[in-house]
Structures are given as structure tokens and as C-alpha cells.
Amino acid sequence: MFNMKDGNDAIKSLNKHLSGFPTVAGYIDSGKNIGQWEITRFDLGAATGYFSQMSDYGDGIALLKDGVVWMSITPMEIESHILPQHSAKGKVVIAGLGLGMITLSLLKKKSVKKLYVLEIDEDLIQEFHSILDESHQNLWHENIQSGRLEVIQADCQKPFENSVLHKIKDADYAWVDIWENLGCYTSLPKAAFIQSQIKAKRIDYWGQELELIERLSRLTSGSDKCERKRSRFLDIINDFELPITPKILSKKGQSFYFEVSMLAAINTLTGMRKQKEKKEPLAIISR
């Protein structure tokens, strides 16, 4: 079970301004292979989250492709999905299946009426249910059979076919997560490319907080007071080229999101230093 240590105040604020964390599905034990994919468990224990200083989840779960981790269930992963958990409603598009954490969590959200998942790998689509425990297999199959959930094979980096676009266009909400590294410099262009086609009313993407803070770093200095940074951050949100969730949060909600984004950037940079990566700030960190 996910537990943010010494984070009661943060959790209260998260529940007040957003909608808490996504729920985590149950998965089978390690050793399952699906084409080029493998699911494995690893001893995680306490670890730094996306914005928390220390969280505990117990065993970590990872989905590997040819030995490279593409998605994992860790405090970082859970905490970095607070926006889709909050904003998804009506007709929802999720770009990237992975371990299906956010997809399965949203299936438990009654305000989500139709959920389209776009995934390029046919093996993963066909056998995804087999990595889930019995209760979540049932959840998956029930929603497939009812038509509430539809998984579509599609390359999100290419123009969608008209038959696909007809289904997913004008979604109420979209979430994009089709890259393996947090802070990937191509994440915004990829999300923007998808948005240019589907024209979702609201769209967010994995790691967008790092893009926002990177822009803030170009406009402020270390000597600037917090209130000035907060004000410039809100300007960046309002001027952002995509219709992201923070644009419609209350002023207090935007202020809370500023704090979360700052912590996410600090934790990401700290993680990079620990890994002794010689890369540009906020550029890449493995999930």
C-alpha cells in the first residue's frame, strides 16, 4: 500500500485542491512475458516520490521492454499522475498503456463515461489482462464488454487514421505518457502533436511540471522571493500553449500546484545527481 511518510498536510491539500492519488491495481507475480515485454517485481521500500521527500510502497513493479524500464509502480509514478486522476471525466483519451495504472484507476471513477487507450504494441494490448490479478482482470473485461473501455492500436507519433480520430476527437480530457524518461525534451512536442489532432478540451502530459519550472527558471533568479516566482509561474500556466488542467484550478489550487511542481523539479534534479548523470537540468531521469 502506498504511504507518504510525514505527508499528512500535503495529502490534505492534495485532496482539497485536486482529487488525491490514483489507486494502484493488483498484478501477478514476476516472470510474465508478453512479446518483448516482461513484468517484474523489485524490493523498493521507502523512496523519494515525485514531490514527496519519502514514501513507501513496498515491492516495486516494473514493465520492461528488451530490458529497459518503460513503466513502474513506484511512489514517483503514483505521485506524477495526480492531474489525470483529478481531471479525467466524460470522454477520456489515454496515450500509452504501460502497466495501466492510470487507466485502471480511472475505470473506478464514475465520472469517466468512455475511456479510449491508445497503444502501439499489439502484444501488450492482447495480453494485458494476463498481468492483472483476478479482481482487476474482471474490471478490465467488464469494461471492455460494456463498451466503456476501448483499447486502440495506434502510433501516437504519426497522424491518426480517420477511423481512430472519429472516436477520440473532441475528448473531454486527454493524458499523454508515451516516453520512457521523465523530463524528456520531446514530451511537449509529442503531446502537442496529439492535441493538434484530437483537440481535447483539457490535456496534460507526464512530467509537464518540469517543463513549467524550467520555463520559470529562465524568468527568475535564485534571489527572487517566493511570491515573485509564484506570480511568474501562474503567468506561465495561463500562457501555456496547451489547455492544461492548472489553467482552470482555483487560485489556491494553482498556488498548491506551484509548490508541487517546485518539489518535483527539486526531487528530479536530486535524483539525477545521485545517479551522477551528466545531462542538462531536467532533461532525463529514468522511471
3-state secondary structure of 71: strand
Residue reference for cell 520492461: 64
Interhelix angle 251-274/208-219, rounded to 10 degrees, is: 90
Rg of the chain over all Cα atoms, to the nearest angstrom: 18
Distance between CA atoms of residues 260 and 79, nearest Å: 10
Q: What contacts 24+ positions apart, CB below 8 Å, involve 266-274? A: 267/48, 267/49, 267/50, 267/51, 267/52, 267/53, 267/76, 268/182, 268/183, 268/210, 270/48, 271/48
Q: What share of the chain is helix, strand, coil (3-state, %, to 5)?
A: 45, 20, 35
Which residue, 147, 77, 154, is CA-closest to 107? 147
> For residues 127 and 38, is the Cβ–Cβ distance under 8 A?
no
Joined together, the cell numbers standing for residue 34 give 508478453
pLDDT tens digits, the chain, 287 residues: what are they? 455 655 667 788 899 999 999 999 999 876 778 888 888 888 776 678 899 887 666 678 888 888 888 888 888 899 999 999 999 999 999 999 999 999 999 999 999 999 999 999 999 999 999 999 999 999 999 999 999 999 999 999 999 999 999 999 999 999 999 998 888 889 999 999 999 999 999 999 999 999 999 999 998 887 788 899 999 999 999 999 999 999 999 999 999 999 999 999 999 888 777 765 544 444 333 44
3-state secondary structure of 208: helix
Distance between CA atoms of residues 49 and 173, nearest Å: 25
First-to-last alpha carbon distance for the chain, in angstroms, is 19
